[in-house]
Amino acid sequence: MPYGRGARHGGRRALRLRTLWHRCWGAGAVLLGAALLLVAGTGLAMVPDELAEERAYRAARPCGAAVTEDCLRSVRATVRGTEIQEQSRNERYELRLDGPGPVPRNLPMAGADPLLRRLRAGDVVTVTVWRDYATAVGRDGVTQHSDDTPEAQAVFTAALALSLVAPGLFVAHAGGHAVAHAAGYAATGVPARLVLRGKLAVAAAGCALPAGLFGMWTGPVGVIVLWSALAGLVLAMSRRLDIPGRGRHAAPYQK
């Protein structure tokens, strides 16, 4: 009998510890989900400003008598060196410069040609600057654009923000469910349906990749529209699998 009581006491203690564990990770998941949604919301709020900046850049013209940040101004700089890596999975094109304030020390370039490959340490180049961007480099009548421009930033920001929405919602939901049903989780384990929803949240996050590529032609509005359509399709799939009797994950679920 004493042994039986000890076993029951140990079982109850293990159950309490598992319950505490589920409450702790659930609370942490709620905080993480809220943080992801906050970052996503902040990113989406930045899109209009970045889009306006991109339009201003495209409308910029070379500076005349009055030099301002909104015109294209020329700044002289000296080459410190270059880095060219052309492996298919590890491409890198960088120009290292010495120059006054607006000129970055390390400038990412779009490729090795037509200019980067020809530059050597000590060469003097002309850097085209717009606001705090170094948008192009020129020497001896040859000009090459850099990757340091505001173009496509709004698309990238929108796609990145949208990729966090579904994981944020899922993690917050899963954490709240774990806190509310910690005792049930401790007794029977995490419901299989919750695991399925996690996979679908990852799939919805992945929808931001094709939406971002689509946005290169349509802008951030296209990113949002296509992601919404694809994520809606994933949501419809998840609801179908939630119907009792459908899908191999439906049967073991316990509320």
pTM assigned to the model: 0.79
User: What residues contact residue 68 under an 8 Å CB cut-off, 6+ apart?
Assistant: none
pLDDT in the model for residue 246: 43
What local confidence, expressed as pLDDT, does residue 11 receive?
A: 66
Q: What is the mean pLDDT of each run of 10 residues along the chain (255 residues)?
A: 54 83 94 97 96 94 86 95 86 93 91 94 96 94 94 95 96 93 84 85 94 93 94 81 48 43
Spatial separation of the C-alpha atoms in residues 187 and 195, rounded to whole Å? 17
Q: What is the pLDDT at residue 241? A: 64
pLDDT at 251: 42
Angle between helices 153-180 and 220-242 in degrees, nearest 10: 30
Residue 234 tokens read as: 């994933």
Question: For helices 153-180 and 208-218, what crossing angle results, to 10°?
Answer: 150
DSSP string, the chain: -HHHHHHHHHHHHHHHHHHHHHHHHHHHHHHHHHHHHHHHHHHHHHHHHHHHHHHHHHT--B--SS--TTSBEEEEEEEEEEEEEEETTEEEEEEEEE-STTS-SEEEBS-STTTGGG--TT-EEEEEEETTEEEEEEETTEEEEBS-SSTTHHHHHHHHHHHHHHHHHHHHHHHHHHHHTHHHHHHH-S-HHHHHHHHHHHHHHHTHHHHHHHHHHH-HHHHHHHHHHHHHHHHHHHHHHHSTTSSTTTTT---
Neighbours of 204 (CB within 10 A): 25
Helices 220-242 and 192-206 cross at an angle (nearest 10°) of 160
Contact 34, 155 (CB under 8 A): no
What lies within 8 Å, CB to CB, of 179 at 6+ separation is 22, 23, 26, 27, 30
